[in-house]
Amino acid sequence: MAYDELVKRCIDLCQQCETACLTCADACLNEKDIDMLRDCIKTDLECAEICGVTARILALNGDFQKDIVRLCQQLCEACAEECEKHAGHGMEHCEACAKACRACAEACKKLVA
Amino acid sequence: MAYDELVKRCIDLCQQCETACLTCADACLNEKDIDMLRDCIKTDLECAEICGVTARILALNGDFQKDIVRLCQQLCEACAEECEKHAGHGMEHCEACAKACRACAEACKKLVA
Amino acid sequence: MAYDELVKRCIDLCQQCETACLTCADACLNEKDIDMLRDCIKTDLECAEICGVTARILALNGDFQKDIVRLCQQLCEACAEECEKHAGHGMEHCEACAKACRACAEACKKLVA
Amino acid sequence: MAYDELVKRCIDLCQQCETACLTCADACLNEKDIDMLRDCIKTDLECAEICGVTARILALNGDFQKDIVRLCQQLCEACAEECEKHAGHGMEHCEACAKACRACAEACKKLVA
């Protein structure tokens, strides 16, 4: 894929991941067993922040885009790991979030390759 | 469409509009005739801010979602009007941005109907 | 105060409120009795989003600044009310957040008067 | 200074820098000689994005705070350099922005030391 196409794809997946993280955080806040989801909510919020700013810096074609994309990859992997802990326990929002994080991390990785 | 589906669609279109606005602002900054694009850049930036926050508030299922969606519709209409002034003058980024703004405004309108 | 001064003050208080809300959300996630703080975390996040975007729209001198400032005032009042429920129960972060919300709401009110 | 104090100071200076960058971008869009300010506007916008997200990640006490603070320092230094080119030519907003960027970069540097 051309760089331009990789950028478009990365923006899309960052935005989908941002949404999945915030949706997951909100759903966690409504779960009966919120106690075990504290780290998940926190990681969701941090990941959503970085995914959002990465999409915007890419759209602005910023000079530091590769640096923020590299950081975004790390955050998405960390958030995926956390969400995967709960994905098998009936937490569909965590499963969806983990998937979105993995897809975003992959797109980030390809962009800076 | 069910409310949930309308929300998903609105989030998508807000994010696409945010990206189109920032892409347009960056492209305007590279146009030879930047002098006539001052208002366009400014409106792009304001619209991008509101589209971004609207998508996030919807994902968080915030209590004030209808209020921000209503404001987002207004911003998108104003930005579309500005971009449409330049769309016919070889400014493809303005044409793309105007389209994204119109689509987002429509989704916002449906959500609060 | 001149409008310019009111804007500066409003930006400052929006940013302080954004920080207080996120600090409160993070602290709530670490509280033993997280169960009663669900609404507080959620309101904190929504309020932080709107305070942040309000400060940015004011700094950009956006055309819709009064509309977002009006919405920000409402969010801050709602968040203050929620935080005040917990302020007297040893939740210092809620007390600090409620104060920051009240100060921000007041600055917003003066700006659009 | 204790780490907590350095964090508070860094959040403050990130937010002041975000505001100075957006104020500078808006002022540049109103300058007669906008042609020579294209890079300045662009750098302002990128720096504002990173300063904003850095303040939020610090307030959330995020796990990747040091990484984003390091990146913020670089952005602020780059933006200060760009703004300093225009600071001596009657562009007071560039002078103010360069100062805010230098102060923020310094606070970021201390935090990750």
pLDDT digits (tens, 9 = 90+) for D46-88: 999 999 999 999 999 999 999 999 999 999 999 999 999 998 8
Residue C12 has pLDDT above 90, yes or no: yes
Domain that holds residue D98: 3-112
Q: Which residues of A touch B55 (CB under 8 A)?
A: 15, 18-19
Contact across the interface for C62 and B78, Cβ inside 8 Å = no
In chain B, the number of structural domains is 1
HSE-up (13 A, CA, CB side) for residue D52: 33
Closest to D29 (Cβ–Cβ): which among B26, B30, B41? B41
Contact across the interface for B25 and D38, Cβ inside 8 Å = no
pLDDT for the residue numbered B89: 82
Cβ-count burial of A19 within 10 angstroms (0-12 exposed, 13-18 middle, 19+ buried)? buried
Residue with tokens 């994309």: A69
DSSP line for D67-93: HHHHHHHHHHHHHHHHHHHHHTTT-HH
Q: Which of C102, C3, C104, C110 is nearest to C52 (CA)?
A: C104
ipTM of the complex: 0.97
What tens digit of pLDDT does each residue of A35-61 get? 999 999 999 999 999 999 999 999 999
- What's chain B's average pLDDT? 97
Residue A90 has pLDDT above 90, yes or no: no
> Nearest CA of chain C to the CA of A3: how many Å?
31
Residue D101 has pLDDT above 90, yes or no: yes
What tens digit of pLDDT does each residue of A63-85 get? 999 999 999 999 999 999 999 99
Q: Which of D7, A44, A72, D108 is nearest to C23 (CA)?
A: D7
Chains in contact with chain B (at least 3 beta-carbon pairs closer than 8 A):
A, C, D
| Distance of alpha carbon C79 from alpha carbon C95, whole angstroms | 11
CATH at residue A49: 1.20.1270.360
Residue A88 has pLDDT above 90, yes or no: no
